[in-house]
Structure formats: structure tokens, C-alpha cells
Structure 1
Amino acid sequence: MADVEAPNRLAVLRAAAALTQLEVAARVGSAVTAGQVSRWELGVQRPSLPYQRALARVFGVSVQELGIPERPSVPRSRRPSAEDWFMDDVRDPRVAKSQDEWRHTRRLLNARRHELAQTAAGLYPGHALAGTGLIAGPGWIPDAPVDLADVRLTEVPDAAPPLLDGTEREAARMLPDESLMRSYPRYTRAIRDLAPPRLFEDRHAWRLLGVDWAQRSLAFGDTTYFGCADVFEALAHELAYVALDADGNPAADPTLRDLPYRRLVGDPFVLDRRPVMPAVSTLTIRRDGARAEFLLHRRDPRAVAAAGGMLQVIPSGVFQPSSLLPAARAADFDLWRNVQRELAEELLGLPEADGHGRPVDYTAGPYGLLDAGRAAGQVRVWCLGVALDALTLVGEILTVLVVDAPLFDRLAADFVDRNDEGRVESERFAFTESGVRGLLDSGRVAPAGAGCLELAWRWRDVLVGG
């Protein structure tokens, strides 16, 4: 009898690397199990693209050399194994129904994030930031823009772990069945298996611990993207499940009483109860005398886990180091460096610093150009405050970058039209009252972007003059 063709090269590559399935799982990501690696090797399940990239890094090959077909396939001539029984369990109609309902709620969540953010903001009266979908704690928005050079960052390496991690009983309602006998243990595991976006990788990030504008100080500990997403996406899913009907129309005006997981979180501005992952969102403005205009980015719903299809300020990204090497971690614990890296990736098409490579050389290329422009007064960057996305309770560090026209145009000569997260809008939007208000009233701008626009317009005289 002829040998059955292997479904991929994963087992061969693992044997060549002298690794166990458990060791491969640990290197691919914290949410991956040895059983998952086994299913990938058998061809019973197909790893999503982020996991394919991680596997390629583990084995030192290209994604194509993994030999993974477009669709999962189980060789017909092989005897059924325990893995096959597991997959039969997954295909049980009761399991399929649970997973389909979860996917449906998640699609509605992603399609209605703007409306849901407004609903969520209403749960925290007195804290909503205009109509942006953001909420701000007491003193979280300073009385005037703060030069980013004056913001002091404090790292708390021995911070106690958060009390909540997404495995609480109250979160179980947001988790679909993984098999007949168990539900998914974490929300990110469900995303990974049932609705994976192109960009979905667990990475180290800094965790927001404190906001003190009297001292112009922000405090941070350590966290991971998945560790935060297990909480913040579950909170969003819960609200979508309660507030929307099966067609995505408003079904109820929920209170915290209707939202047990959000109620368990309690005061959203108490930052030690859950992991709060901050993103740095930056409104980039081209200033030409009395005229100013800004850029926006349309996020691709197929590529990102949140705010797909919405407009966002650019650059924008999680506050995290470019690499886990100590030298990179020390250099990257800086909001300006985060803004520079995201700008280089999202507007100039430079490869993403995904945490696995060497430290970024901030003296070269666009980094050096931006630093020189900042020293010469051609680049000015401010922090407008800190807020939370009301829907997810994710932290948002709101900043604005103003670049004089000659330097902006020099950079813009190399701007890309698309990046891994979506499309850069070709239109430059006028930084005028009608331009800003028209966008804010449209409901098309993600909460962080709306917050940047709202505050930047409030302080336009300081930022661009006139």
C-alpha cells in the first residue's frame, strides 16, 4: 500500500528541530496547547495565518515551507484517532449551534461598535467625553495639552496581578462551546479558532496602572495582548448580546444590573481589578501657516479584531516594546518612540516591530528625521489626556502630532496607500470646525479617534494657532 501523503510538513519540521508538541505550543503562543499542535500536524485543523507565521519563526522557515493547504483535510486511509473523535464532537449540531450564535453576536458587535460605545458611555454618567464613546476618570483630561516631553512614565515591575482575567463565572456567558463537555476557557481562544482576523498575535504590552496629571505622570506594569483581550472583548460581547436583537437593532436600554461581567469589573477607573492595555492614538496634522489638515485610516474588518470598518486617527497602536531584548524595552518605554514606530509602519510601510527582532535604530531613517524636526521646532507632539473606550474599557492615550508642511511633505512622498491594518484615506481632511464636526457627527470615527479630534479642536489655538 502506498504511503498516505502527509497533510503538511509540521511534524517533519518539529522532529528536525528536536522539539516536543508542548515545546512548540509554548513558543507559538500562551493560548496554544500541545493538543492544538497535534491537530495541526494531523491536518484536522488548519492554523490561522498569525499562527502560521509564528510556526514559521519557530522552525526558521517561510510560511510556504510549512506545507499547510488552504483547507484542513484528514487523510481518508488513516484509522480514526482520538483527534478524530474530538473533531466529531466539535461538529455535533449542539456545539455548532453554540459557536454559530457566538459568531453572529460577534459580527453584530463589530458592525455596531459605534452605537454600542455610546450605549456603554451612558452606563457611566458624568464621565462621558462629549459624544465620542470615551469615558474619562477624574483628572484624566488635563486643563491644556501637555508637551509629550513633559510626560513622566513610571514603570512598576512588581505590580500585583489584576484580580480579573476573563475566566470568571460571569464571563462564561460570552464563551461558546468548544465541545459537548466544555466551553472555551478564554475569549481569545474562541477568536483564534472561530473568527480569527489576519492580525491576531499575543504580544507583551505595558499595563496602565495610574494617571496623575498633577505630576504629569503615567504609571505602567506588564501585561499581554491576549491577557487584556480576554477581558475587554468579553465586556464588549456581553453588551452586544444584551443590547442588540438578532438583527442587530437596539433591543434594550441595559443597566449594569443586566451586565454581570461589567458589574463585576465595577469602577472602570480602578485600574488594578483588570488588565488595562493602553493604546497610543495620534492625530497627525499637516500645518501650513493658517491652514491645517489631518489624516485618517480606515481599519479593515478582515484584518483587525476591533473597530473594523471604522475611521481612526493615524498612527495608532498598543503601547508595547518593539522587542523583548532589554535594550529595546528600555528605549521603547517612551510614548514618542511608540508614535514614531507606528507612523513608520502605518504610513511609511516599514516592517512591523513584532517583538521578536532586534531593537529599533532610532537614529536612522524616518526616526532620525522626526527627532531632528522635533528638535528644530518643525514637529510638535502633545498628550491630550487619557480615557477609556466605554465599550471595551481599553485605555486610550490621546496624542496629537503637528508637522510643518515642508517636513510633512518630505515624509508624505513615501506614504503608502494601504498597510496591514487597512487603508490610508487618500483625502486629507480640513482641520476646521465643519470638517471636524462633520466627522464627529457621522458616527464613522472610532472612539479614540473621535476623542483626539474633540480635544484637538477644543485646544486648536495651542496646537496650530489661530
Structure 2
Amino acid sequence: MNGTGTPNRLAELRQAAALTQQEVADRIGGAVTAGQVSRWERGEQAPSARYRRQLAEVFGVAVAQLGIPADGLPRVSRQRRPVEDFMGDVVQDPRVEASQDEWRRTRSLLNGSRHQLAQVAAGLYPRAVLDGTGLIAGPGWLPERPVDLAAVTLVEDPAASAPLLDGSEREAARMLPDQTLMRTFPRYTRAIRDLAPPRLFEDRFAWRLAGVDWDRPRLTFADTTYFSCVDVFEPLAHELAYVALDADGNPAGDPTLRDLPYRRLVGDPFDCDRRPVMPAISTLTIRRDGESAEFLLHRRDPRAVAAAGGMLQVIPSGIFQPSSLMPAARAADFDLWRNIQREFSEELLGMAEADGHGQPVDYASGPFAVLDRARAAGQLTVHCLGVALDALTLVGEVLTVMVVDADVFDALAWDFVDRNDEGTVVAERFPFTEQGVRGLLDSGSVAPAGAGCLSLAWRWREHLLPA
């Protein structure tokens, strides 16, 4: 029931989702409590328009399927600040709600146009564009040929200075919606958490890219956290979406850096001291069977991930971070291969994600041992293709390719999952041919990191797949 005596479906939908009232409140965030969810379900109150949208997102249904008629909704207060109604439900000032609605609209357009926007962003750095992939690469960021991953030395710099920019700058604040009439949200991550939370959105320790040197070859890293990076890279994307797209998501012209104050403030995108550069490791997995080869792709679920939702991506792919905060895990996991193995086991084999809070991973057992043995026997090779930046977000991308002999691949593929926490494993295997690779790159459906892996792997196919 609602306040007008009309039934709603909130309790039914919550129970179908196997959630408690407290879990629903936690997912909505803000000032919502379990008691308030209970009052909504009993019909003692009707949630505001904002909370109806968030409830619909939590349950994965349309707003109309909540069963709350429009005439049963509370009137919006016209006071100059948020107020509580007689039952304690917060009713937002219409100007605040309009600001938040505009932010959500822009973010929705951003997530639906990331490929297009990455191309626009790449055009801002014409000397660094990588083959129309939406990636840009700085001087010396790509090796002359693929480098065996075992030859890449990782260096951790615990004394590295904090980046100069952290997302609190005035130019970044322009991308933040109003939290009340008197203040905006303090950080972009707070706005995501409260207004448009994906299923997977948790702050964790991560390594940030501090230097690239292929002459040695060596990659240098320092400390950061996931949210510290999101607070910089998503405002950059939001700013471009706001300027480059009209209200319907169509191109609104060709912006220059003069039109993008925050991106202009960032300056040289390859200056890793100026902002936190979060690296993800993206791996093109190729099954080799004699002279033929094919590869896998992953469709990222926009309801589950904060970036590249709805796009195709190579698999496995994930942020470079330890499996646990325990010192032993941090030491063992400061390794590109271990990160690839964990993402492989999680995204393709359905193993529980190492969320940073558990025990160190036992790499001597299970699929980790299988992959290690195959690599030692020469049945699996893994190479680094270089490091680049997603032009839209300026997120770092460590581009790698793993070639697996058919018998090893097929033994593992027997247990491959169809879905994982981040999306769907595409059932079709794509031929690693010029037509197969070019068709995907031309489709605009592949995320920049995946497009970079495909483009570079095809360029260096004779090195990666020798006859």
C-alpha cells in the first residue's frame, strides 16, 4: 500500500532480489534508512521521484513497475532547503533535484557514447593518437616490438610525491551536482555512490603509474586508491560529454581544450606526477590451433561497472591492485602476470573476486598452477604490447596479449562461465584474421583498451604467432 491506500510492489521486488531492507537502504545511500524503506513498503509514505528512480535501479525494473502511482507521491517542498515531512522523509528542493537530474542525464549520455567521445578526446592530442582506437600513447610508451612479460621489471616507489591534482579543484567542481541548495557534492565518487551507483563500486588500494621506460624495460608505480583516481578521470569524461553532446546525445561540435577547463588544467596527459594515473591491465586472450587463431570478448554490464558499460572488452581485464591488504599479498601481487591470472580466474572461471579483505591468493593451486605450468612449458605466452591512455578518461592501460595452445585453452574453457560480476562472456569466438579484427575495430563497439590490444596484436601478429 502507499499513503493513498493503493498497493505497491516494493516488498515483493525486494524479496525477489534477496535483499533486506537495510541492504536496499545501503544501496540507495544518502539519508535513507531501513525504517524508511519499511515505511515505503507499508504505504505509510511514498518515495520521492529521486528515490523511485534509485529503487528501480536497485531492483532492475522500470519506475512504473514499482507500482507507485504518480498521484500518490508527496508534493515537492518549495522551501529553500531540504526539509523533512512529518514522518521524517527528506523531500528535496526542486532546484537541487533539477541539478541532480541534469548530472544523471549527462552521465547517462556519457556512458552511452564512450566510444564516440573517446574519438573526440583523442582528437585533442593529434600527435599521440593510436590507430583510431580511442587511445593515446606518449613518447616511448610503446615498445618497438612486443616484450615478453617476464622481461618487464616492476619498480615500486614508496617515496613518490602525491599528485598535484585530486579532483577537488574548482574546475572539477563544475561537474558536481548540488547536494543541497548550499553546497555541491564534495567529490565525484560521492555523487556516483548516492545518485547512480553501479553494483561494483568500492574504494580499494591500487597502484598508480609513475613511469614508463621500454629501454630497460621497466614500469614504475606508486600508491593510490581507486576512488582517488575516479575523482579525477570521470570528471574529465563528464566535462567532455557535457560540452561535446547535445541534450539527445548527438554531436554538438568539435570542442577544443579552451572549452574544457579541467582537461586544460590537467595539461600534459603523460605527466604522471600531475594527476593519479590508474593503470588497468587488459589482456587479449588468443586460442591458437595450428595455423588458425581465435579470441574472446566480454560485454561489460552498464549496471555493474562505472566505466565502459555496454561496450565489448578483451578478457581478462582489471585494475592493477593487490588481492588483499595483507603485506604478503601486496608483495606477491606486485606482478602483472599474477594480476592477469586473478582476473582470468574471476572473469572466465567464476572464482570469487579478491576484494582486498581476504587472505593472500594461493598461486600454487587451481587454475593459477595450470596457467603457470603451461607458461613454463611454452604452451602459453604472454607479452606486453605497451602502455597507453584512454583519451576520454586519461586512465592508464597496460596492453597485453596471451596466446594459449588449443589443448590447454580447451581444458580450461570447459569451466568457463557465461556471466560474471562485470557482464557477459560473449559466446562467439572471434577469428583472429584481418577481417575479424578490422570488423570489430570499425564497429565502434570495442572499448579503447580492447581496441588497442587488437590493433597492436594484429600489427605484431608474426611475432606473437610465429609459424
Q: TM-score range by the shorter chain?
A: 0.7 to 0.9
Q: Is the 8 A contact 1:203 1:224 kept in 2?
A: yes
* Separation (CA, whole Å) in 1 of partners of 2:147 and 2:163: 29
Give the equivalent residue in structure 1 for 2:247. 246
Give the equivalent residue in structure 2 for 1:360. 361
Q: TM-score with structure 2 length normalisation?
A: 0.84
* Separation (CA, whole Å) in 1 of partners of 2:210 and 2:354: 24
Give the equivalent residue in structure 2 for 1:169. 170
1:369-380 aligned at under 5 Å gives the runs: 369-380=370-381
Q: Is the 8 A contact 1:311 1:446 kept in 2?
A: yes
1:43 maps to 2:36? yes
Q: Is the 8 A contact 1:282 1:398 kept in 2?
A: yes
Give the equivalent residue in structure 1 for 2:414. 413
Amino acid at match of 1:423: T
Give the equivalent residue in structure 2 for 1:384. 385
1:431 maps to 2:424? no
* Separation (CA, whole Å) in 2 of partners of 1:375 and 1:203: 32
SS in 2 for 1:43: helix
Give the equivalent residue in structure 2 for 1:456. 457
Q: Is the 8 A contact 1:90 1:178 kept in 2?
A: no
SS in 1 for 2:126: coil
Number of matched pairs? 410
Give the equivalent residue in structure 2 for 1:55. none
Amino acid at match of 2:125: Y
Q: Is the 8 A contact 1:106 1:237 kept in 2?
A: yes
Deviations 1:31-82 (A, max 9, x none): x9xxx5x753663799x99xx9xxxxxxxxxxxxxxxxx99xxxx9xxxxx9
Amino acid at match of 1:385: G
* Separation (CA, whole Å) in 2 of partners of 1:125 and 1:156: 31
Give the equivalent residue in structure 2 for 1:290. 291
Identity %: 74
Instruction: Report deviation, 1:89.
Output: 6.8
Instruction: Report deviation, 1:90.
Output: 5.9
* Separation (CA, whole Å) in 2 of partners of 1:432 and 1:316: 22
Structure 2's unaligned 5+ residue stretches are 1-19, 38-46, 59-65, 68-73, 75-81
* Separation (CA, whole Å) in 1 of partners of 2:91 and 2:177: 11
Q: Is the 8 A contact 1:39 1:83 kept in 2?
A: no
Give the equivalent residue in structure 2 for 1:226. 227
* Separation (CA, whole Å) in 1 of partners of 2:21 and 2:459: 57
Q: Is the 8 A contact 1:287 1:405 kept in 2?
A: yes
Give the equivalent residue in structure 2 for 1:194. 195
Give the equivalent residue in structure 2 for 1:154. 155
1:328-343 aligned at under 5 Å gives the runs: 328-343=329-344
Q: TM-score with structure 1 length normalisation?
A: 0.84
Q: 1:181 and 1:127, CA in 2 relative to 1: closer, same or farther beyond 3 A?
A: same
Amino acid at match of 1:323: S
Instruction: Report deviation, 1:88.
Output: 7.1
Give the equivalent residue in structure 2 for 1:446. 447
Give the equivalent residue in structure 1 for 2:182. 181
Q: Is the 8 A contact 2:83 2:91 kept in 1?
A: no
Instruction: Report deviation, 1:465.
Output: 2.1
* Separation (CA, whole Å) in 1 of partners of 2:213 and 2:33: 48
Q: Is the 8 A contact 2:83 2:92 kept in 1?
A: no
* Separation (CA, whole Å) in 1 of partners of 2:462 and 2:264: 40
Amino acid at match of 1:43: Q
Amino acid at match of 1:138: P
Give the equivalent residue in structure 1 for 2:84. 84
Structure 1's unaligned 5+ residue stretches are 1-7, 12-27, 53-69, 77-81
After TM superposition, which residue ranges in structure 1, 4 or more long, deviate above 4 angstroms? 8-11, 87-90
Give the equivalent residue in structure 1 for 2:109. 108
SS in 1 for 2:179: strand
Give the equivalent residue in structure 2 for 1:465. 466
Q: Is the 8 A contact 1:344 1:366 kept in 2?
A: yes
* Separation (CA, whole Å) in 1 of partners of 2:36 and 2:174: 31
Amino acid at match of 1:297: H
Q: CA RMSD of the aligned region, Å? A: 2.5
* Separation (CA, whole Å) in 1 of partners of 2:350 and 2:89: 43
* Separation (CA, whole Å) in 2 of partners of 1:136 and 1:88: 50
Instruction: Report deviation, 1:443.
Output: 0.3
Q: 1:416 and 1:9, CA in 2 relative to 1: closer, same or farther beyond 3 A?
A: closer
Instruction: Report deviation, 1:273.
Output: 0.7
* Separation (CA, whole Å) in 1 of partners of 2:439 and 2:32: 50
Instruction: Report deviation, 1:193.
Output: 0.6
Give the equivalent residue in structure 1 for 2:267. 266
1:309-324 aligned at under 5 Å gives the runs: 309-324=310-325
SS in 1 for 2:84: helix
Q: 1:246 and 1:9, CA in 2 relative to 1: closer, same or farther beyond 3 A?
A: closer
Amino acid at match of 1:84: E
Q: 1:443 and 1:10, CA in 2 relative to 1: closer, same or farther beyond 3 A?
A: closer
* Separation (CA, whole Å) in 2 of partners of 1:41 and 1:442: 45
Deviations 1:308-367 (A, max 9, x none): 111000000000000000000000000000000000000000000000000000000000
* Separation (CA, whole Å) in 2 of partners of 1:272 and 1:429: 39
Instruction: Report deviation, 1:158.
Output: 1.7
Instruction: Report deviation, 1:9.
Output: 8.2
Q: Is the 8 A contact 2:83 2:90 kept in 1?
A: no
Instruction: Report deviation, 1:114.
Output: 0.4
SS in 2 for 1:380: strand
Instruction: Report deviation, 1:215.
Output: 1.2
Q: 1:310 and 1:214, CA in 2 relative to 1: closer, same or farther beyond 3 A?
A: same
Give the equivalent residue in structure 2 for 1:16. none
Q: 1:222 and 1:40, CA in 2 relative to 1: closer, same or farther beyond 3 A?
A: farther
* Separation (CA, whole Å) in 1 of partners of 2:447 and 2:22: 40
